[in-house]
């Protein structure tokens, strides 16, 4: 009953706002409302849990009065899009995940069961049997929970949802990736693929003709949507400070850098490009930001990040997630749909209050008041940030279905909001790192790479490249902006070619000597063609058999002809290892051989001319003795450049 | 050789065989085998694709099996090649000489990809390398999976 009253009040409130020509928070006209139905051009204020959905409207959010965890301003800037009646109509989103509860009360109306599959049961019902597999149901709700006066609302509440039980399958069950990536009848009509997953490997992955077939399917995404091309939005990963590898049963903190007696965590332990599918152009890699408007503590950073969504902080406690401080990795997460019932999903009777708010624990007074059936919960991670971006793309395609896959990337890039502009100067990130065992920070803050130096900067913060594009390894081109993206989609006319030609590899640097503990200019390569750069990739191999290179120590920095320097790989990364490892920790320093084909990419040069001399630097830390890394190994560097069209 | 000795040898042989079978079936994708583990596997068939040499550590006809790369890392190969970048009809026609070793062909029109399964990993590798030289403009891969994605 109480919920009914709240709903009626909320609908009245929204109606008043609509009739006044404004939406809560950001304002905006609804005079041209084209939506039909009982919620036409209403904001999510019709939903009882909307006040906790800070990513949809921060200023009106419950959390806006808790300044330690929220700035009361950071959101997707989406509400005025909703009050225009643009809610994802006509757009198909496929959630590839650990399953999807298709009969969920707040999802069912948007589910198209001809777009669902379960690779475990080989049936069309992706509902997971195991109550622990609630990830996909959460992801789906962030994208497209229905506006119906129940629970939460998705970023695109009228989108059509499909999904598959594709990851977290029992050992020995291997999904058919081509079928999942648009090859099957149930996947081929997807406009957007949401991939809140990735590969977190402890050894450098090989990227070449013989890798997984997901890369081949992704390279052929431009064939989908009748040739307009689909995109995949993919999670950057949660390994900035630590990597917890469930499969190999160890948790790992990357080296910290000591300065005046305090340790600083200034590099990203994991790198999104270690997941080779992030290297395909139709993949939009999403990082995560919190409710304070800066990078979530866990969000992996790297030069293949395209955009930032909202994923909340690491730990969330209190009544709804308002307790603690973002400075200590606390704050609200992204509210969504959970597997229904208090015995399944993330919100259960057994949920611990040590790292969850009362809302999540079945039977608490707050839970009984706001979430009595445990059908809703909150979730974090780049897994949660990714569907916020997917939802925005759905709104863009709803506003303009003619957009091709390159247009979608372009609009996201152009409308993204650079945030936290000074982070490169905070927490001593602007100090050079002494490239020693147990690395320390130096007093030197020069960004210049000096050949032979024993120290170098390993974070440049935001940079403006020679084409005038702002780029950051933390945020890509910035935080997604729904209002600006949809507005640009509505007036977009400069449609780009959807063809994707995968360039061949060119020989770049041969036999460049890596010097551990030093900055080393490995050499240069000349590019004669004058093409605006989209992504540049380098392919790394040891030059000599038996002289492997320990990539856990080797940072790879690339300097463009126009002088922009991008960090494609940081030293002291996930592969580095530790002196007294867990018995299950099989890392070997990240050795690559003459056959490894280890590939890294960068968007930092976007729009710059490819023509001229490119310089490759190895900025190498000192490896652990236990990894027996060869002294002065030689490296071959091949390259290829995708042109921006 | 007395009965007891024969029994002992038989038991030892069975144990070794069982160990070998268990070893082959329990290696985790992505793990790196030690030199001792690799040595215990005995002689293995190899194949080369581009600059990579792989050794086949198990193979089930029509299904594929596990391979290791030059670092001893365990991957799964389904004895499948994937052809893209050319019209699917042309890709299918190019398969005529391999009919005796092909177990199934799937055409994914939406992606313009043809997937071909072979009897063995060796057959697939041989076809992949030959077709790569014949089909100009085509991308032909022999997928080897070293890791499965995980939720983030």
ipTM of the predicted structure?
0.91
Judged by phi (left if over 0) then psi (alpha if -120 to 50, else beta), residue A38 lies in: alpha
The predicted structure's pLDDT at residue B148: 87
Whether residue B79 lies within 8 A of chain A, CB to CB, comes out as: no
In a domain, A21, yes or no: yes
The owner of tokens 């921006």 is A644
Q: Quote the number of domains for chain A.
A: 2
Determine the 3-state secondary structure of A406 from DSSP: helix
Q: What is the pLDDT of residues B29-50, one digit of tens each?
A: 888 999 999 999 999 999 999 8
Whether residue B11 lies within 8 A of chain A, CB to CB, comes out as: no
Q: Are residues B7 and B35 in the same domain?
A: yes
Decide: residue A249, CB within 10 A, 0-12 exposed, 13-18 middle, 19+ buried.
exposed
Q: Are residues B46 and B59 in the same domain?
A: yes
Q: Which range among A637-641, B23-27, B87-91 shows the weakest confidence by mean pLDDT?
A: B23-27
Closest CA to A284 of A469, A476, A467: A476
Whether residue A232 lies within 8 A of chain B, CB to CB, comes out as: no
B72 near B60, Cβ under 8 Å? no
Determine the 3-state secondary structure of B85 from DSSP: coil
The predicted structure's pLDDT at residue A247: 57
Written as six digits, the tokens of A536 are: 């540049």
Q: Are residues B8 and B68 in the same domain?
A: yes
The predicted structure's pLDDT at residue A300: 96
A241 near A256, Cβ under 8 Å? no
Written as six digits, the tokens of A501 are: 């030609």
A63 near A53, Cβ under 8 Å? no
* CATH number of the domain that residue A295 is part of: 3.40.50.200
Q: Are residues B9 and B72 in the same domain?
A: yes
pLDDT band at B61 (very low <50, low <70, confident <90, very high): confident
Contact call for A216 and B143, based on CB within 8 A? yes
CA distance A9 to A516: 66
Determine the 3-state secondary structure of B95 from DSSP: coil
Decide: residue A619, CB within 10 A, 0-12 exposed, 13-18 middle, 19+ buried.
buried
The predicted structure's pLDDT at residue A210: 61
Q: Are residues A258 and A370 in the same domain?
A: yes
CA angle B100, B105, B107 (to 5 degrees): 155
Whether residue B138 lies within 8 A of chain A, CB to CB, comes out as: no
Determine the 3-state secondary structure of A482 from DSSP: helix
Q: Helices A482-491 and A382-399: crossing angle, nearest 10°?
A: 30
The owner of tokens 């069982």 is B18
B50, B71, B150: residue with CB nearest A209: B50
Contact call for A220 and B149, based on CB within 8 A? no
CA distance B134 to A553: 41
User: Which residue spans within chain B are E strands per DSSP?
Assistant: 46-49, 52-56, 65-68, 74-77, 80-84, 102-108, 113-118, 139-141, 144-145, 150-151
A595 near B51, Cβ under 8 Å? yes
In a domain, A425, yes or no: no
Q: Are residues B84 and B60 in the same domain?
A: no
Contact call for B28 and A595, based on CB within 8 A? no
Q: Name the closest residue on chain B to residue A136, using Cα atoms.
A: B151
Contact call for A203 and B112, based on CB within 8 A? no
Q: Are residues B56 and B107 in the same domain?
A: no
A chain contacts of residue B73, beta-carbon cutoff 8 Å: 203
In a domain, B47, yes or no: yes
CA distance B125 to A92: 37
Query: Where a domain ends, among A415, A446, A480?
Result: A415
In a domain, B151, yes or no: no
Q: Are residues A369 and A514 in the same domain?
A: no
Alpha helices in A311-404 (DSSP H): 365-370, 382-399
- Closest-CA distance, B9 to chain A, in angstroms, reads 33
The predicted structure's pLDDT at residue A31: 57
Q: Are residues A131 and A245 in the same domain?
A: yes
Q: Are residues B116 and B104 in the same domain?
A: yes
Q: Which residues of chain A have pLDDT under 70?
A: 1-31, 209-212, 245-250
Judged by phi (left if over 0) then psi (alpha if -120 to 50, else beta), residue B30 lies in: left
Whether residue B152 lies within 8 A of chain A, CB to CB, comes out as: yes
CA distance A34 to A340: 33
Query: Where a domain ends, among B29, B50, B76?
Result: B76
Domain residues for the domain of A186 are: 13-415
User: Which residue spans within A192-241 are E strands per DSSP?
Assistant: 192-195, 197-198, 231-235
Q: Are residues A162 and A61 in the same domain?
A: yes
Q: Quote the number of domains for chain B.
A: 2
Q: Are residues B63 and B29 in the same domain?
A: yes
Q: Output the CA–CA distances (angstroms, integers) from residue A248 to A175, A204, A220, A357, A382, in the order listed.
A: 21, 15, 32, 30, 21
CA distance A53 to A384: 12
- Closest-CA distance, B7 to chain A, in angstroms, reads 35
In a domain, B150, yes or no: no
In a domain, A453, yes or no: no
Domain residues for the domain of B51 are: 3-76
Q: Are residues B41 and B57 in the same domain?
A: yes
Q: How far is CA A623 from the centre of its chain?
A: 29
What is chain A's percent helix, strand, coil content, to nearest 5? 20, 25, 55
Closest CA to B152 of A190, A287, A192, A354: A287
- Closest-CA distance, A618 to chain B, in angstroms, reads 23
CA distance A136 to A235: 13
Q: Are residues B57 and B104 in the same domain?
A: no
Q: Output the CA–CA distances (angstroms, integers) from residue A44 to A23, A48, A150, A249, B25, in the order listed.
A: 10, 9, 11, 41, 52
In a domain, A132, yes or no: yes
A181 near A112, Cβ under 8 Å? no
Whether residue B28 lies within 8 A of chain A, CB to CB, comes out as: yes
Q: Are residues A382 and A529 in the same domain?
A: no
A chain contacts of residue B54, beta-carbon cutoff 8 Å: 210
- The helices-and-strands tally (H runs, E runs) of chain B is 4, 10
Q: Are residues B23 and B59 in the same domain?
A: yes
Judged by phi (left if over 0) then psi (alpha if -120 to 50, else beta), residue A292 lies in: alpha
The full length of chain B comes to 152
A213, A224, A586: residue with CB nearest B31: A586
- The helices-and-strands tally (H runs, E runs) of chain A is 9, 29
The predicted structure's pLDDT at residue A510: 93
In a domain, A315, yes or no: yes
In a domain, A441, yes or no: no
The predicted structure's pLDDT at residue A566: 98
- Closest-CA distance, A238 to chain B, in angstroms, reads 7
Q: Name the closest residue on chain A to residue B73, using Cα atoms.
A: A203
Q: How far is CA A220 from the centre of its chain?
A: 22
Strand partners, A538: A600, A639
Contact call for A135 and B142, based on CB within 8 A? no
Written as six digits, the tokens of A188 are: 């081929």
A174, A220, A586: residue with CB nearest B113: A220
Closest CA to A610 of A564, A570, A555, A568: A564
Whether residue A499 lies within 8 A of chain B, CB to CB, comes out as: no
B chain contacts of residue A586, beta-carbon cutoff 8 Å: 31-32
CA distance A527 to A535: 14
CA distance A265 to A429: 9
CA angle A465, A471, A475 (to 5 degrees): 175
The owner of tokens 């240069």 is A524
In a domain, A61, yes or no: yes
Q: Are residues A154 and A295 in the same domain?
A: yes
* CATH number of the domain that residue A577 is part of: 2.60.120.260
Q: Are residues B12 and B72 in the same domain?
A: yes
Count of C-beta atoms within a 10 Å radius of residue A6: 14
In a domain, B71, yes or no: yes
Query: Where a domain ends, among B52, B76, B100?
Result: B76
A102 near A137, Cβ under 8 Å? no
- Closest-CA distance, B94 to chain A, in angstroms, reads 19
Q: Name the closest residue on chain B to residue A184, using Cα atoms.
A: B108
CA distance A293 to A56: 14
Query: Where a domain ends, among A353, A381, A415?
Result: A415
Q: Helices A382-399 and A135-144: crossing angle, nearest 10°?
A: 30
The predicted structure's pLDDT at residue A200: 78
Query: Where a domain ends, among A381, A415, A449?
Result: A415
Determine the 3-state secondary structure of A129 from DSSP: coil
Q: Are residues A396 and A513 in the same domain?
A: no
Query: Where a domain ends, among B30, B56, B76?
Result: B76
Q: Are residues A393 and A521 in the same domain?
A: no
Contact call for B115 and A213, based on CB within 8 A? yes
In a domain, A557, yes or no: yes
Count of C-beta atoms within a 10 Å radius of residue B114: 25
């Amino acid at each position: 009953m109480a919920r009914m009253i709240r709903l009626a009040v909320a609908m009245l409130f929204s109606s008043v706002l609509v009739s006044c020509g404004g939406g809560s928070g950001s304002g905006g006209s609804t005079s041209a409302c084209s939506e039909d139905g009982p919620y036409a051009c209403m904001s999510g204020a019709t939903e009882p849990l909307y006040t906790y959905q800070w990513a949809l409207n921060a200023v009106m959010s419950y959390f806006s009065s808790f300044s330690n965890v929220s700035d009361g301003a950071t959101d997707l800037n989406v509400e005025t899009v909703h009050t225009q009646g643009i809610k994802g109509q006509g757009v198909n989103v496929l959630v590839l995940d650990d399953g999807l509860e298709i009969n969920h009360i707040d999802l069912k109306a948007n589910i198209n069961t001809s777009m669902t599959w379960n690779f475990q049961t080989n049936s069309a019902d992706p509902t997971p049997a195991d109550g622990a597999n609630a990830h996909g149901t959460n992801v789906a709700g962030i994208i497209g929970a229905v506006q119906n006066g129940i629970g939460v609302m998705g970023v695109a509440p009228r989108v059509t949802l499909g999904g598959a039980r594709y990851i977290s399958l029992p050992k020995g069950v291997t999904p058919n990736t081509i079928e999942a990536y648009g090859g099957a009848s149930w996947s081929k009509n997807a406009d957007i693929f949401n991939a809140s997953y990735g590969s977190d490997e402890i050894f450098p992955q090989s990227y070449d003709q013989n890798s997984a077939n997901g890369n081949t399917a992704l390279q052929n995404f431009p064939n989908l949507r009748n040739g307009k091309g689909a995109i995949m939005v993919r999670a950057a990963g949660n390994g900035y400070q630590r990597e917890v590898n469930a499969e190999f049963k160890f948790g790992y903190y990357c080296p910290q850098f000591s300065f005046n007696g305090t340790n600083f965590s200034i590099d990203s332990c994991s790198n999104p490009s270690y997941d080779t599918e992030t290297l395909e152009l139709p993949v939009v890699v999403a990082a995560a930001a919190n409710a304070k408007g800066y990078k979530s503590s866990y969000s992996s950073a790297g030069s293949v990040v395209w955009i930032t969504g909202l994923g909340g902080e690491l730990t969330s406690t209190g009544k709804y997630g308002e307790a603690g401080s973002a400075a200590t990795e606390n704050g609200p997460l992204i509210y969504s749909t959970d597997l229904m019932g208090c015995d399944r999903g993330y919100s259960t009777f057994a949920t611990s209050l040590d790292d969850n708010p009362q809302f999540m624990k079945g039977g608490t007074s707050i839970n009984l008041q706001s979430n009595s059936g445990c059908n809703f919960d909150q979730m974090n991670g780049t897994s949660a940030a990714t569907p916020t971006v997917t939802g925005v793309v759905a709104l863009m395609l709803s506003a303009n279905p003619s957009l091709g896959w390159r247009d979608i990337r372009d609009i996201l890039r152009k409308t993204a909001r650079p945030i936290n502009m000074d982070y490169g100067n905070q927490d001593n990130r602007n100090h050079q790192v002494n490239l020693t065992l147990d690395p320390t920070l130096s007093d030197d803050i020069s960004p210049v790479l000096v050949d032979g130096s024993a120290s170098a900067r390993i974070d440049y913060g935001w940079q403006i490249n020679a084409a005038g594009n702002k780029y950051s390894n933390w945020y890509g081109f910035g935080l997604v902006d729904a209002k600006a993206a949809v507005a640009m989609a509505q007036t977009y006319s400069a449609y780009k070619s959807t063809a994707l030609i995968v360039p061949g590899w060119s020989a770049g640097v041969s036999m460049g000597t890596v010097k551990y503990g030093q900055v080393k200019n490995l050499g240069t390569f000349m590019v004669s063609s004058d093409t605006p750069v989209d992504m540049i990739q380098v392919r790394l191999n040891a030059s000599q058999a038996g002289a492997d290179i320990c990539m856990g120590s080797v940072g790879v920095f690339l300097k463009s002809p126009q002088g922009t320097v991008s960090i494609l790989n940081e030293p002291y990364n996930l592969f580095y290892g530790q002196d007294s490892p867990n018995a299950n920790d099989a890392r070997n320093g990240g050795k690559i051989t003459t056959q490894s084909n280890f590939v890294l990419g960068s968007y930092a040069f976007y729009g710059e001319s490819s023509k001229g001399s490119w310089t490759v630097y190895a900025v190498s830390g000192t490896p652990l003795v236990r990894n027996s890394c060869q002294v002065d190994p030689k490296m071959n560097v091949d390259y290829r450049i995708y042109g921006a069209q | 050789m007395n009965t007891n000795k024969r029994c002992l040898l038989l038991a030892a042989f069975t144990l070794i065989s069982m160990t070998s079978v268990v070893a082959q079936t329990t290696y985790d994708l992505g793990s790196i085998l030690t030199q001792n583990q690799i040595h215990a596997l005995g002689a293995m068939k190899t194949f080369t694709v581009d600059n990579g040499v792989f050794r086949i550590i198990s193979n089930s006809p029509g299904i594929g099996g596990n391979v290791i790369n030059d670092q001893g890392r365990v991957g799964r190969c389904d004895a499948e090649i994937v052809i893209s970048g050319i019209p699917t009809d042309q890709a299918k026609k190019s398969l005529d000489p391999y009919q005796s070793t092909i177990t199934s062909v799937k055409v994914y029109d939406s992606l313009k990809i043809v997937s071909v399964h072979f009897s063995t990993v060796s057959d697939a590798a041989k076809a992949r390398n030959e077709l790569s030289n014949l089909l100009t403009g085509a991308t032909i891969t022999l997928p080897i999976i070293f890791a499965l994605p995980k939720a983030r």
